[in-house]
Structure 1
Amino acid sequence: MSARVVPEDGRRRRRPTKQGAVLSERLIVDTALRLVGEHGADALSVRRLGAALGADPSALYRYFRNTDALLLALADELIGRAQDGWRATGEWRADLRAMGLRIHGSYLSQPQAALLAAHRTTGRPHETRAVETILGILRDGGFPDPLAVRIYHAFVDQALAFAAQDAAAAALPPAAAEADTEVWREVYGRLPADSHPHVAATFPLLAADMRDSGYPFALELMLAAVAALHPDARG
């Protein structure tokens, strides 16, 4: 899939598709997210997307030069959804916490898309706004620029790494997910105390905790470490 992308003003389809909708970048992205959510990575093809839209597949080239460009648009859409409705409080710790949880939650709402896109750098408007916002939280919070950049890097990588891992778990077929859960009961729950004393002693807590994402607590650990690096804490 490779062709010249037509500027926004020149690529609007005047006639409705077979489904009665007017083709647009927004419609394509929303439809692609739905298809990927229902069918996984294989759904991200011009043929399947065109069929779902009721449009000639070649019409999609007017909006995206190839499927990778479309994938970046999906990633950027997830980043944009994470920022919808967010308002800064002016307190850096609360604002970073909210932003991290929003990013993680947005990707988890579309686990199949997250598997494809959580590691990508889009360079698109939602992503650039997120970079600006997070750096602004840190700089306005009193962190010097070199430290703000390093914290930004670790903060975003942590959120996206957990999003990718948790998305992979959420995207497992039900049978595989149940098999993973069964391992905790049938393997870890039966380990003898003489060979695995720490597992045996903590198993009920361990099994309960492993049902949920480790991200919220990992985020709190990071925020505590970041607070310790603040110039005020070291002064």
Structure 2
Amino acid sequence: MPERRRWSTEEILDTAAELLRTSDAESFSVRKLAAVLGTDSSSLYRHFRSKTELLREVADRILLAAMDGYRPEGDWKQRITALALRVREAFGQQPQLAAVWGRYASSGTGSRLVMEEVLQALRISGLPDEEIPVRYHRIVVLLFALVASEAGAGAITPKEREQGMELFRVAVLGADPERFPALAHFARDVRPLGADRRAAFEEILAAQLAHIEATIRPL
């Protein structure tokens, strides 16, 4: 009987990422991954102690890709904005993994690089040190939400998108003006959630950063 191939950690993570492109974290399992690799689950547990640890590693690789080649430029708001857009772009290329990141937040090198840059940017903003952890937390929670929302829309098929658009048109343009007067009034101007997501992402992030800036007391 031929000896089974020994897969490297990177090969396992590559295969897991590919498997997650067509499934979600709930249906993903180490057993399924092992079957794709043609091995048994026990061999994978030599690399990862649990499914959660494996998923965290997969998510962290996306953050590592986002930080690859990153160089901080500009003021603190420009740095955080540039970082956020890089993370958004990285998960936009693998939208199924955004939900994995949101649920299984990594503590790996990629995550630490993102954390370090946000904290460094906030340190030069003029905020006192005691306020930085709270502000950092708000920014990261917002980034999680925006990236997950963006990626969720990007993961649907063209057919699902068209069906959603048709349902939106029926729900909005066909709204009863007596029951939904405001909706009927703005029906032709209200846009679906998928429209101008990039602009919305940047505006919401900019509003959060402006809010932080307004709290900074001049020296």
TM-score (ref. length: structure 1): 0.78
Say how many residue pairs are matched: 215
Residue 73 of structure 2: SS of its match in structure 1? coil
| Structure 2 equivalent of residue 6 of structure 1 | none
| Structure 1 equivalent of residue 29 of structure 2 | 45
Partner Cα distance (2:183, 2:10) in 1: 50
Shift of 1:175: 4.5
Match of 1:130 among 87, 91, 114: 114
Trace 1:55-94 onto structure 2 (pairs within 5 A). 55-94=39-78
- Deviations along 1:105-143, one digit per CA (max 9) or x if unpaired, are 323322222223313332222212221221011102322
| 8 Å contact kept, 1:25–1:63 | yes
Partner Cα distance (1:70, 1:183) in 2: 38
Partner Cα distance (1:195, 1:26) in 2: 56
| 8 Å contact kept, 2:153–2:194 | no
| Structure 1 equivalent of residue 203 of structure 2 | 217
After the TM superposition, which parts of structure 1 deviate over 6 Å for at least 4 consecutive aligned residues? none
| 8 Å contact kept, 2:31–2:41 | yes
| 8 Å contact kept, 1:35–1:43 | no
Change (3 A) 1:189 1:201: same
Segments of structure 2 that go 5 or more residues without pairing to the other structure are none
- Deviations along 1:51-72, one digit per CA (max 9) or x if unpaired, are 3334444321221112111011
- Deviations along 1:164-223, one digit per CA (max 9) or x if unpaired, are 223333334554433322222111123355654543444344226752323222112112
User: How high is the sequence identity, in percent, across the aligned residues?
Assistant: 30
Match of 1:105 among 89, 93, 99: 89
Segments of structure 1 that go 5 or more residues without pairing to the other structure are 1-14
Residue 121 of structure 1: SS of its match in structure 2? coil
| 8 Å contact kept, 1:72–1:122 | yes
1:158 pairs with 2:154: no
TM-score (ref. length: structure 2): 0.83
Partner Cα distance (2:209, 2:181) in 1: 32
Partner Cα distance (2:204, 2:56) in 1: 27
**What residue identity is the alignment partner of 2:145?**
A
| 8 Å contact kept, 2:59–2:97 | yes
Residue 41 of structure 1: SS of its match in structure 2? coil
**What residue identity is the alignment partner of 2:47?**
Y
